[in-house]
Structure formats: C-alpha cells, structure tokens
Amino acid sequence: MAGLLADLPPSVPRVTVNRLCGSGLEAVIGAARAVETGDATTVIAGGVELMSRAPWVLQKPSAGFPRGDETLHSTALGWRMVNSRLPGKWTVALGEGAEILADRYHLSRNAQDAFALRSHERAAAAWDRGDFAAEVVRPGA
C-alpha cells in the first residue's frame, strides 16, 4: 500500500511484511538480501510498528454460515491464533514480555529510558557524520 500511496506505478513489485515490532527491520533485511543476491539493484524499505492499532480478528468458521457467538482474538501476538498446545510463557504480548524481562534482570524504567536515549543519540550522531550516506537516498536529494 505504501508504494501505491507514494505514486509508484502498480508495475513496481512490492511486499508487505508483518512482523509486529520487527516489521521495519525485517523489511530492510529483505531489501538488503535482494540487493546482495542480485535480485534487485534498487530497493525502498522501511516500516512502522504501532501495536496499539493491532486489530482484533475472528477465526475462519468451519461452516459457510456459522451460527452462535464468535470469539475475537487480539493480533498483538501476530496474525495468528495462539495454539493451545504452546506454553503460555511463549505467547506473551510484547509489553508483558518487556515487564517479565525487566523483573528478571532488575532493569529499572530509568535504566531502560537511559539505554533508549543513548541508542537514539548514537543513531543521530551516525546520521550527522554521514555514516549511512552511501546506503541511503533521501527523497528530493
């Protein structure tokens, strides 16, 4: 959809990646792989992750016209229904997983925020130094 909204013609191949919070990175990895293998020479990749907008879905009915109540499932765990045979600890939502790790490794919110700030500062400095200039083409540049 992003390609169409960017006015790229329908003849330009494209793909949508849904890896929840990993979508943008997975898109960039796939783009790099396509260039590295020679499948493409120029690729546009990016992503937006917004788990608060993850939709609720229904399972596909076993009959064409189901009767009775249907159960909605949150897709915050992905575009799948959780298999009841999976251990519950494997299927926690991302926010809950972060809380579990914070408790397990005694990571305070301040420590997490400091790490995030440091990461963003390092990324901004790399952009300012031009570390990615050979890999990135900016619109209008």
* Confidence category of residue 140, pLDDT binned at 50, 70, 90: low
In the chain the first and final C-alpha atoms are separated, in Å, by 23
* Confidence category of residue 126, pLDDT binned at 50, 70, 90: very high
The one-letter code for the residue type at 76 is: A
Check pLDDT > 60 for residue 79: no
User: CA-to-CA distance for 17 and 31, rounded, in angstroms?
Assistant: 11
The one-letter code for the residue type at 36 is: E
**Residue 107 structure tokens:** 């990571």
* Confidence category of residue 105, pLDDT binned at 50, 70, 90: very high
* Confidence category of residue 102, pLDDT binned at 50, 70, 90: very high
Q: Provide the whole-model pTM.
A: 0.55
- Average pLDDT over the chain, rounded to whole? 84
Greater pLDDT, 87 or 111: 111
CA-to-CA dists, residue 111 to 47, 104, 106, 118, 125, angstroms: 27, 14, 10, 11, 21
Give the H/E segment covering residue 41.
Answer: none
